[in-house]
Amino acid sequence: MSANRDIEALIDMMARLPGLGPRSARRAVLHLIRKRALLMTPLADLMQQVAATARECLNCGNIGTGDICEICASDKRANGMICVVEDVADLWAMERSGVFKGRYHVLGGTLSALDQIGPDQLRIPRLVDRVDSENVTEVILALNATVDGQTTAHYIADQLEGRVTLTSLAQGVPIGGELDYLDDGTITAALNARRKV
């Protein structure tokens, strides 16, 4: 390649982002170089700043700019509910819906015997502590509907049994979903959990 070494190194580094390969990284870098002043410089500045300030909340594992994230720091969110999610991306998805007003607990993954991930790697002891210390009345298990996710949910349910109300997200037909395109498992779950109209 004839571009200088910095540009090549930048392409290599961009190609390590999830969702980008060598080809799309080249395209993205060319786009950035064409919009040096409008996009590349501000993006680099912002990245620098986030890299310097972003950290995991010591309480819940969410990403924020302080030792304690905005949600854990806000008294308004202390409604006695904790929503347990696998990942910060899941937390963001829940927050976009805007319907949950409580606090979160980010596990950082799921239990996995294969990958040797046990409860201690997943902030589960910290969750048990929080249930006692934050006057929690309900723990919502918003884990993915995968085998690992459900295993983890069962483990947490065992740990917290009798201490709080434990709930999980409803399973059924997604809003806007067409039955014809749904898998058998979802239809079965939706039928079993049918409600009176």
Q: Dihedral of CA 88/93/98/99: which sign? A: negative
User: Is 106 or 190 the residue whose CB approaches a second copy more closely?
Assistant: 106
User: Is 122 or 166 the residue whose CB approaches a second copy more closely?
Assistant: 122
Q: Where are the beta strands (DSSP E) in 12-155?
A: 55-56, 63-64, 81-85, 103-106, 138-141
- Shortest CB 179 distance to a second copy, Å: 25
User: Is 17 or 193 the residue whose CB approaches a second copy more closely?
Assistant: 17
Largest CA distance in the chain: 68
- Shortest CB 55 distance to a second copy, Å: 8
Tokens of 20: 């980008």
Nearest CA among 20, 92, 103, 36 for reference residue 63: 92
Interacting residues with a second copy (CB under 8 A):
1-4, 6-7, 9-10, 13-14, 16-20, 24, 26-33, 36-37, 39-51, 53-54, 62-65, 69-71, 87-89, 91-92, 95-96, 104
User: Is 64 or 149 the residue whose CB approaches a second copy more closely?
Assistant: 64
- Shortest CB 188 distance to a second copy, Å: 28
Q: Which residues pair with 56 in a beta bridge?
A: 63
Please report, as a single letter, which amino acid is at residue 55. R
- Shortest CB 192 distance to a second copy, Å: 31
